[in-house]
């Protein structure tokens, strides 16, 4: 089973600061997804990256997929209190689960943005 390591595990910053969260694996993934989860709710998809080296932007969030498709990063510019939550990366393990594969989740980065 492939593993995804996320860092840092916890991050507490002030409003307006920038931050980067990392998701690393020794295995190649066909795609990587980033989800955000708020307390008492299920994860919600933010973005999917498929091509090595791909960069996607979602307002103040920038997602990058590594050239070798083994790692990904999430960069938030000028963080706001509304960005607070658990950020999870997930990779599709196509060795299991049929054509869709099974999503393997990292342990997440718990972000707290203070006003």
Partner 1 sequence: EAGVAQSPRYKIIEKRQSVAFWCNPISGHATLYWYQQILGQGPKLLIQFQNNGVVDDSQLPKDRFSAERLKGVDSTLKIQPAKLEDSAVYLCASIAFVSSAGDGELFFGEGSRLTVL
Contacts to partner 1 by CB under 8 A: 4, 6, 29-31, 33, 40-45, 48, 50, 88, 90-94, 96-108
CB of 16 to partner 1, least distance (A): 28
CB of 33 to partner 1, least distance (A): 7
Count of CB atoms within 10 A of residue 20's CB? 14
Rg (CA), the chain: 14
DSSP-derived pairing of the beta strands 5-7 and 19-24:
antiparallel
- Looking at residue 83, the DSSP 8-state letter turns out to be G
When the beta carbons of 1 and 115 are compared against partner 1, the nearer one is 1
């Amino acid at each position: 089973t492939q593993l995804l390591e996320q860092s840092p595990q916890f991050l507490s910053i002030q409003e307006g600061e920038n931050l980067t969260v990392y998701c690393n694996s020794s295995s190649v993934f066909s795609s990587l997804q980033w989800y955000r989860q708020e307390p008492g709710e299920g994860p919600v998809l933010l973005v999917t990256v498929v091509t090595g080296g791909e960069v996607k932007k979602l307002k103040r969030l920038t997602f990058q997929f590594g050239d070798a498709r083994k790692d990904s990063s999430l960069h938030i510019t000028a963080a706001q209190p509304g960005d607070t939550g658990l950020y999870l990366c997930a990779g599709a393990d196509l060795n299991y689960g049929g054509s869709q594969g099974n999503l393997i989740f990292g342990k997440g980065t718990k972000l707290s943005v203070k006003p």
